[in-house]
Amino acid sequence: MRLLILGGTTEANALARQVVGWAELEPILSLAGRTQNPAESPIPFRTGGFGGVDGLKAYLTDNKIDVVVDATHPFAAQMSAHAADACRDLNLPLALFTRAAWRPVPGDRWFSVSDMSEAASALGIKARRVFLTVGGLQLAAFAAAPQHHYLVRTIDPPQAAAALSDHKLILARGPFSAEDEVALMRGARIEVLVTKNSGGKATAAKLAAARQLGIDVIMVERPKPEEVLAFEKLDDVMSWILGHRPAP
């Protein structure tokens, strides 16, 4: 049975490691190619886009894919939509393997917004020192609020950072400790954190640090997920995959 994992996340990597050695599975991991140095894959992989829904349908057909798991980032809405449309058209089993969203706890000072433009507006008119951990693709939205100083943290150098007139760039990959996040925010005199509700443990320490320091958090909430079967536990998605094995 040929399994396609749409990846680029911790969940996708965990699933790829889990399917190694299953004789009845022929897995392949698909990466978008946006990260310059992705984690090493234990299974065969491909890199790059598919060319929209039609391109994905052609790939699924040409490679005789039997089952698809969408383990992309919670904010990869376009890829998830394409996967849902392609699998629906081809009548292929599709499941979403994702992480739970973060939820505020006592002491948090969260302000939820729907997108980056709203996040930039929520910073207000008065100049503030802002910690941006929203990835590199949508930084240009904050050019609309040039009065702020931005501390930008990404994995790879973002071209869009050039749109920010007053910023400092940090290149780093999680996980991060709460102690290090507190030290970073305190040293940079951060007043507000802007982040996406990605969920997961790798970068959750920044929320604990903001809570400890009494810093506001502007939380960009996730886009509405596709209406497909979803799992948050590795064992559950593995059971679903194995349940689609052809009868002997």
Higher local confidence (pLDDT), 247 or 172: 172
Decide if 100 contacts 204 (C-beta within 8 A). no
pLDDT of residue 174: 83
From 21, 59, 28, select the one nearest 44 (Cα to Cα): 28
3-state helix, strand, coil in the chain (%, to 5): 35, 20, 45
**DSSP string computed for 148-160:** SEEEEEESS--GG
Task: Measure the CA–CA gap between 149 and 163, rounded to whole angstroms.
Answer: 12
pLDDT tens-digit map of 20-46: 988 889 999 999 866 666 667 889 999
pLDDT of residue 224: 85
Give strand ranges (E) for 22-180.
26-31, 45-47, 67-70, 94-97, 110-113, 129-133, 149-154, 167-171
* Tokens matching residue 206: 């920044």
Residue 191's closest CA among 135, 150, 143, 138?
150
In this prediction, residue 221 carries a pLDDT of 96
More confident residue, 35 or 182: 182
pLDDT digit string (tens) for 58-102? 999 999 999 999 999 999 999 999 999 999 999 999 999 999 999
Q: What is the mean pLDDT of residues 139-150?
A: 96
For residue 38, what pLDDT is reported? 66
132: left (phi over 0), alpha (psi -120 to 50) or beta: beta
Q: Which domains does the chain have, with CATH numbers?
A: 2-100+224-242 (3.40.50.720), 110-220 (3.40.50.720)
pLDDT of residue 37: 63
